[in-house]
Amino acid sequence: MSDTFLTTEEVLEYLQVNLRTVYRLIKAGKIPAVRVGRQWRFKREDLDAWLESQRTRRGGAVASAVPAASEPRPEHPRVLVVDDEASIRELLTRTLALTEYEVEAVGEARTALERLRLGAYDLLIADLRMPVMDGLTLIREARRLHPTLKVIIITGYSTEASAIEAVNLGVVGYLVKPFRVPQVLSAVARALGET
């Protein structure tokens, strides 16, 4: 079935992403699409090839230079990921970079605070449980630097107390490990007001 075409709605289900993500992927040239009137059509074999390329893609985390707070804001939302697990950092970085977010990932909270002092970010994604400084302490410190910074927390150990404290700190998203890529993209889009 090499000539099977999918509608936009079918692609949303097939890729398990939202509409904004599909449009970003089209605009970035990541997935080929054909315009038919006012609708987009996608070849299933092109989507399968793109998915396979994402599965087999190797390389380190995508990181961008940190612009100074006085420099103009970049065109794409900037996301700072903080998690002591390298596999989680890599998953989040690769996932968000695919949808054209500018992503930087660090392994501990003190480094994250240094990045926040040097530049502006649109979103902070932080693990709750990290050595030296935990995620809730990081969020409190980050709020002192950037009171309007959007925050999503991720954790493998969800407790009612931590959830309540996170809400009190103004956290806009809460992901429990193990999470799936569509959950991450959806939470980030909601946090940034893109849905």
Mean pLDDT for 137-162 is 85
Q: Which two tokens stand for residue 174?
A: 């809460």
Residues present in the chain in total: 195
Query: Quick one: 99 and 149 in the same domain?
Result: yes
First to last CA, the chain: 33
Residue 126 has a pLDDT of 94
Asked whether residue 18 falls in the same domain as residue 93, the answer is no
Whether 106 and 156 map to the same domain: the answer is: yes
Q: Which amino acid is at 173?
A: G
Range of the domain at 38: 5-56
Mean pLDDT on 148-173: 80
Same domain, 89 and 51: no
Q: Do 84 and 165 belong together in one domain?
A: yes
Structural domain contains residue 99: yes
Is 141 inside a domain boundary? yes
- Give 157 or 46, the one with higher predicted confidence: 46
Q: Find the largest Cα–Cα distance for the chain.
A: 56
Would 91 be classed as within a structural domain?
yes
Closest CA to 102 of 58, 70, 63: 63
- As a whole-number percent, the residues of the chain with pLDDT over 90 amount to 26
Q: Could you tell me the pTM of the whole model? A: 0.64
Tell me how far apart the alpha carbons of residues 107 and 87 are, in angstroms, rounded to a whole number: 11
Which H or E run contains 184? helix 181-191
Mapped onto helix, strand or coil, the DSSP state of residue 136 is helix
Tens digits of residue pLDDT in 89-116: 998 998 888 887 899 999 999 999 999 9
* CA Rg value for the chain: 18
Tell me the three state secondary structure of residue 108: coil
Same domain flag for 160 and 87: yes
How many domains is the chain built from? Answer: 2
The average confidence (pLDDT) of the chain is: 79
Between these two residues, 133 and 57, which has the higher pLDDT value? Answer: 133
Do 16 and 85 have their domain in common? no
Q: What is the pLDDT of residue 79?
A: 95
